[in-house]
Chain A
Amino acid sequence: RKEVEQDPGPFNVPEGATVAFNCTYSNSASQSFFWYRQDCRKEPKLLMSVYSSGNEDGRFTAQLNRASQYISLLIRDSKLSDSATYLCVVNGPLDTGRRALTFGSGTRLQVQP
């Protein structure tokens, strides 16, 4: 089983739509969670961290369910510029000393006019 699993998509949605991405992770001791955005042939960029209480940043809402080992990202009022690949990213347990991030394969979003 992959450490971080995501639906690869693509998700094709019209402008203004609401779209949700899900992600599951295998290590229950994982410490921190993020959503990154990656544009074609570019490096990933941090979109937002994911907190246990859930957090919102403008049109973006992230949620974490530790019991189910599940992370989600909700994008409201989609814009054309939201078209990208969204990467679910997990940081390993502190006691392993593993400071590298583990990436999901990404979910591709295409917002259409």
Chain B
Amino acid sequence: GAVVSQHPSRVICKSGTSVKIECRSLDFQATTMFWYRQFPKQSLMLMATSNEGSKATYEQGVEKDKFLINHASLTLSTLTVTSAHPEDSSFYICSARGETQGLDTEAFFGQGTRLTVV
């Protein structure tokens, strides 16, 4: 199956610093990438949808100036958590889908990034 690579898998940062997370589709062109966040014992919550070459669409309650998303190519999307605070500590997962004949392909997930802000 297709592979989505997400880096880093784990990061610890100080409060007030910024952290960048990369998501790459390795063997297919991802027209759309999705960023999710998962707090312990909760479901994956969609944060934003990013389409290559255009601005990301953020879900209600997600601050676009805090969670910067860049989808510069069909194989790379980045999420930058700016001025991180302890409450931003969470498991961040990217997902990528391609299209075949106008239909969505299966969604593939990155390995996730566990962010801890101290």
Instruction: Please report whether the interface of chain B is mostly helix, strand, loop or mixed according to DSSP.
Output: strand
CB pair B43–A101 under 8 Å, yes or no, is no
Instruction: Please report whether the interface of chain A is mostly helix, strand, loop or mixed according to DSSP.
Output: loop
CB pair A99–B43 under 8 Å, yes or no, is no
Nearest B-chain residue to A91, judged by Cβ: B104
Nearest A-chain residue to B32, judged by Cβ: A99
Selected from B41, B49, B110, the residue in CB contact (under 8 A) with A99 is: B49
CB pair B104–A105 under 8 Å, yes or no, is no
Extra pairs beyond A8-B41, A87-B43, A100-B34 (9, CB < 8 Å): A43-B93, A43-B110, A46-B106, A99-B32, A99-B97, A101-B46, A101-B107, A103-B43, A105-B43
In the complex, which residues of chain B have a beta carbon less than 8 angstroms from the beta carbon of A41? 91, 112, 114
Binding site for B on A (CB under 8 A): 4, 8, 41-46, 87, 91, 99-106
In the complex, which residues of chain A have a beta carbon less than 8 angstroms from the beta carbon of B43? 4, 87, 103-106
In the complex, which residues of chain A have a beta carbon less than 8 angstroms from the beta carbon of B109? 43-45
B100 smallest CB distance to A (angstroms): 13
11 A/B residue pairs, CB under 8 Å, sorted by A = A43-B109, A43-B111, A43-B112, A99-B49, A100-B34, A100-B95, A101-B46, A103-B43, A103-B44, A104-B43, A105-B43
Check B101 for interface membership: any CB of A closer than 8 A. no
Check B42 for interface membership: any CB of A closer than 8 A. yes
In the complex, which residues of chain B have a beta carbon less than 8 angstroms from the beta carbon of A42? 111-112
CB pair B46–A100 under 8 Å, yes or no, is yes
Nearest B-chain residue to A102, judged by Cβ: B46
Nearest B-chain residue to A4, judged by Cβ: B43
In the complex, which residues of chain A have a beta carbon less than 8 angstroms from the beta carbon of B45? 103
